[in-house]
Amino acid sequence: MSDYTSSAERPVLVAASAPEDKRLIMEALDELALPGVLVSDGAEAMQALCRRPNTYAAVIVGDRVDRVSGWTLCGLARDAGCPLPILLVTGDEGPLAAARAEGLRVTVLGRSASAQRVARAMSALLPRPACAAIQ
């Protein structure tokens, strides 16, 4: 029996420690009617991603995940072979952030984004059945 389930059945891993990031991301997932699993520590997030890679539909990372930056966590996840769509909500914006995001194959939103904007970005990253709730 395979561990694979459709993305509509799998939760989104949320790695964030700042209260404002947690609130914003969880509101966005609520808007999409997607379940989220919240972790506030970078090591815990990496363990969750490496233990069973088919457990999650995607990853949303906050600007900080305890002592680790969101950028670092995204890089570690990609270096570990994580193929999941990753959305990073960060205060870093501009051409350098865009180039860095492209290199890491992550989507980046500015920290000032609304829950609706985060939901739209996540919807664009996931296969259509997972995001049928917002259509």
- pLDDT per position as a tens digit, 68-78: 999 999 999 99
Instruction: For residue 101, tell me if it sits in a domain.
Output: yes
What residue numbers bound the domain in which 110 lies?
12-134
Nearest to 51 by CA among 37, 34, 68, 69: 37
CATH at residue 70: 3.40.50.2300
- pLDDT per position as a tens digit, 14-44: 999 999 999 999 999 999 999 999 999 999 9
**Helix or strand or coil: residue 8?**
coil
Instruction: For residue 6, tell me if it sits in a domain.
Output: no
Residue 80: burial class (beta carbons within 10 Å; 0-12, 13-18, 19+): exposed
Instruction: For residue 73, tell me if it sits in a domain.
Output: yes
Mean pLDDT across 97-119:
88
- pLDDT per position as a tens digit, 110-125: 877 788 999 999 899 8
The pTM of this model reads 0.84
**pLDDT for 134 beyond 80:** no
The tally of domains found in the chain comes to 1
Instruction: For residue 3, tell me if it sits in a domain.
Output: no
pLDDT value of position 7 = 52
Look up tokens 């980046």; give the residue.
Answer: 108
